[in-house]
Amino acid sequence: MLRKIDDYRWEIPQEGGMRVPGLVIASEKLIGKIDSERVVEQVRNVATLPGIVGRSLAMPDAHWGYGMPVGGVAATDAVDGVVSPGGVGYDVSCGVRLLSTGLDAAQVRPEIDRLMDALFSAVPSGVGAGGALRVNAREMKGVFRHGAKWAVSKGFGEAADLDVCEDGGFLPDAGEDVPSDRAVERGADQLGTLGSGNHFLELQEVDEIYDETVAGVFGLRRGQFVILIHTGSRGLGYQVCTDFLQVMRKASHRFGIRLPDPQLACAPLSSPEAQEYLAAMKAASNFARANRQVITQRVRETLERTLQRAPKELDVRVVYDVSHNLAKMETHDVDGKPRRLCVHRKGATRAFPAGHPEVPEAYRGVGQPVLLPGSMGTHSYVLVGTEQAMKETWGTTAHGAGRRMSRTQAAKQTHGGELLRELLKEGIHVRTDSLRGLAEEAPFAYKDVSEVVEACHRSGISRKIARMRPFGVVKG
């Protein structure tokens, strides 16, 4: 039973095998759908993980997922806790990158069809799609070690790009030899590609500024042409998760860990299984970051070639790059004392406040940018991290709109061709390799992103800075 604390907080009382209570952050409008999707049941299940600290959490965009809900957050003690691949997800380090430009959207719209065709060609999308860049097994070790930094060293972007990425664009101590041969094989030709599902590359216009000062620090202004990229570790990350779910099932049995849902299979952080998983997860995460960096350079080159403008005039800069499917070792305040924790964020985004040492220096005075994309054809938002998030959600907020119906349900309600025409009437030009996949990602299949953002803003776990409206979408 949910107990309402205030307009944006709903407690799940501790009972049965729960080691901590649960907390859902949502508005009155969102909570009904969240409750009906078994999210509350999954939050309860997560609360049974050994070593869990504080509360088992669900963000405003939460919906049912594998083991842990998408939009779920759980922190486990670094000494006595566990790590669970189900608390990270299949698409390891799936994330969002925002690029700003020196152009107004009005300057780009007359060239939109040519530009969309060029981007669709330059950044492959779709299930299993590969690109022109192929990385052999030996070179892949460099990707695993250095992430976006590897991509920059190979000419994909600039060193300055890394200064405004989460973790500087890569996680240290990745296991270059841990991902399986099959994982390496699946990722060999997938750097610089979007993939399928809800991944996208969107051309957007900044149409609303809520905080001029912070927006200025982020380099955003009204009317500006920006690009939002959403993709992850592709088949490589999926394979890493698949491989280690089997490992963790055996580990749970070996360590006598009993859970209400076997999809939450886990291992003590001190165990060889956990350490090996974390090393593989970091390698997959670095692959995802390299992927978004390669795409960034493809976008720069395509804009220069298609719009016939010099790089200085285009001024394409990385605003921020953040992952939303990770388990990270972090230090947080617990009962007034600093404590090392393994924070699982599955479909949830870091929202660190001003002054935090892990916020890039350029933004440390105002806080970390939070990138919250909407569903196809709807607004996306930039928010900023807050102290309230640090106190209540381990520095975490929502990662997007969140699904409200399955892909199968969505495809039954519309056809991709019909959706293409509807979006075009709204001034949104779409390129896709799959009309079926397009129908599955119809805007009505997702929650109202503005409602999700308001819940984040009014609960205080992040604060609105800017809003963007898409006018071009490359869809997987």
Q: Which residues are catalytic?
A: 399
Q: Which residues contact residue 325 at a Cβ distance below 8 angstroms, ignoring those fewer than 6 apart?
A: 88, 89, 91, 92, 93, 94, 95, 232, 345, 346, 347
Q: How far apart are CA 145 and CA 132, in angstroms?
A: 22
Whether residue 394 contacts residue 332, with contact meaning beta carbons closer than 8 Å, is answered with yes
Cα atoms in the 13 Å half-sphere on the side-chain side of 87: 31
Give me the count of residues in the chain: 476
Q: Which residues contact residue 240 at a Cβ distance below 8 angstroms, ignoring those fewer than 6 apart?
A: 92, 179, 180, 183, 233, 280, 281, 283, 284
Q: Which residues contact residue 342 at a Cβ distance below 8 angstroms, ignoring those fewer than 6 apart?
A: 75, 76, 77, 78, 81, 82, 83, 269, 327, 328, 329
Q: How far is CA 444 from CA 344, 382, 435, 441, 449, in A?
A: 29, 22, 16, 8, 11
Q: How far apart are CA 393 and CA 389, in angstroms?
A: 5
Whether residue 416 contacts residue 438, with contact meaning beta carbons closer than 8 Å, is answered with yes
Q: Which residues face 330 on adjacent strands?
A: 341
Q: How far apart are CA 323 and CA 333, in angstroms?
A: 22
User: Comparing C-alpha atoms, which of 384, 344, 374, 353 is closest to residue 452?
Assistant: 374
Whether residue 59 contacts residue 400, with contact meaning beta carbons closer than 8 Å, is answered with no
**Residue 231, Cα to own-chain centre: how many angstroms?**
8
Q: How far apart are CA 86 and CA 93, in angstroms?
A: 13
Q: How far apart are CA 248 and CA 250, in angstroms?
A: 5
State which amino acid sits at residue 265. Answer: A
Whether residue 218 contacts residue 98, with contact meaning beta carbons closer than 8 Å, is answered with no
Q: How far apart are CA 256 and CA 18, in angstroms?
A: 17
